[in-house]
Amino acid sequence: MNLVKLSCLALAVATASSQLAVAGQADAKGFVEDSELSLLNRNYYFQRDFKNNPGGQNYREEWAHGVMAEFASGFTQGTVGFGADAYGYMGIKLDSGRGRTGTGLLPISDEGRAQDEYGEAGGAAKLRISETVLKYGEMRTEAPVFATAHSRLLPETATGFHVSSGEIDGLALEAGHFTAYNNRNSTNSDEELYLNYGSGEIGQTIDFAGGWYNVSDDLALGLYASRFEDTWNQYYGNLNYTLSISEGQSLNFDLNLYRTSDTGDALQGDISNTTYSLAATYALGSHSILLAYQRVNGDTPFDYVGGDSIFLSNSMQYSDFNAPNEKSWRIGYGYDWSGLGVPGLTTKVTYVKGSDIDGTDADVNGGYVGYYGEDGKHSETDIDIKYVVQEGPAKDLSVRLRQAFHYANGDQGEGDLHEFRVIVDYPLSIL
């Protein structure tokens, strides 16, 4: 996950509670009057070149276009307001081929070919009392212990209950109970919950609760707890602080901590894992410099349910740097080209190096045995260039180029590869 997203998320989500307090059920205008309809066109090219994969697939390359319509109704008036959310997603193959599939952009048939097109639709019913909203159905989630992803063509969704509350100014609370998943290249909304690294049988439900508290304009705190049925209990904490040094100059600190331990039938085996990351970002005008350290303490990797449930500093374009006992350092530089008269253009370069990986003590009956050796090492360099059109008919259209270079020894488990992505997004607000 991108660190800029993480650094801002605690502040943004915590601030949302104060916005809810202003626009609660007392201000409801009606189901139609407060409704919103948005449309996102996404054009996605994905190429992954494996450099040392003898006997396996060496190359993946696909190009696809996605159309995503999302509707959010307002709430009916009264003490209890009722509403509904709905979505319709469609993906179209532009280029693929047998032997080049597996990018995650398109579903793959039993014959090993990418489908020409695919689509899905779903939604959720919702009700609101005061500043508290309860939803049931298919939806996207953003909790650090259960977050669906939008890293490929179409978004992931999950099915279950979700409640969010902004009754207290500066405090945003949420809880959820989810039982099914819709993966990024699937049209089935009743799939198993998505586990990223484990293997074998997995839990059928996940429950979580937590929230964000905006202590001040500069300090935000986050705390969550979750239970993945018969697999683990997982806890998350965050501290995000920004020190304003002078006009246009600041220093941001972002601390993330996860604690995971097995529970119930321990379907993934014995787990006792503490993983944390600490990042510092110095911003001066259009420049930003980032330094981060990440550590995994445990004989299993830091694993998570949901495609984007990893709020750690060194989760990169390809690797999460989350292997057993891994230590990793990150350095990055970003520049906002508006400082040179090109508003909307941003560039970032990041390098991460991980070492001391040792997965040889993982539970032999668990889901992580045999994947990591005793002296794993790897590195990744990411280059990110993005331009957002600032005005005119194509306003808000963005073009993003992402290049990753990953190199590893045999004990790390992921191998050497080069990965290139081109993502063009064009969002439209219809209502």
Task: Given the residues 49, 230, 363, 396, select the one marked as catalytic.
Answer: 230
Would strands 117-129 and 132-139 be described as parallel, antiparallel, or unpaired?
Answer: antiparallel
Q: Is 199 a catalytic residue?
A: no
Instruction: Assess contact for 81 and 128: CB atoms under 8 A.
Output: yes
The 3 state secondary structure assigned to the chain is CCHHHHHHHHHHHHHHHHHHHHCCHHHCCCCCCCCEEEEEEEEEEEEEEECCCCCCCCEEEEEEEEEEEEEECCCCCCCEEEEEEEEEEEEEEEECCCCCCCCCCCCECCCCCECCEEEEEEEEEEEEECCEEEEEEEECCEECCEECCCCCCCCCEEEEEEEEECCCCCEEEEEEEEEEEECCCCCCCCECCCECCCCCCCCCCEEEEEEEEECCCCEEEEEEEEEECCCEEEEEEEEEEEEEEECCEEEEEEEEEEEEEECCCCCCCCCEEEEEEEEEEEEECCEEEEEEEEEEECCCCCCCECCCCCCCCCCCCCCCCCCCCCEEEEEEEEEEHHHHCCCCEEEEEEEEEEEEECCCCCCCCCCCCCCCCCCEEEEEEEEEEEEECCCCCCCCCEEEEEEEEEEECCCCCCCCEEEEEEEEEEEEECC
The C-alpha atoms of residue 104 and residue 184 are separated, in whole angstroms, by 7
Q: Is 287 a catalytic residue?
A: no
Tokens of 412: 């790390």
Task: Given the residues 309, 319, 328, 379, select the one marked as catalytic.
Answer: 309
Task: Given the residues 177, 286, 375, 396, select the one marked as catalytic.
Answer: 177
Q: Is 418 a catalytic residue?
A: no
Q: How many CB atoms lie within 10 A of CB 340?
A: 10
Selection from 23, 127, 111, 115 nearest residue 75 by Cα: 127
The C-alpha atoms of residue 191 and residue 156 are separated, in whole angstroms, by 11
The C-alpha atoms of residue 276 and residue 6 are separated, in whole angstroms, by 14
Q: Report, as residue numbers or ranges, the catalytic residues.
A: 177, 230, 309
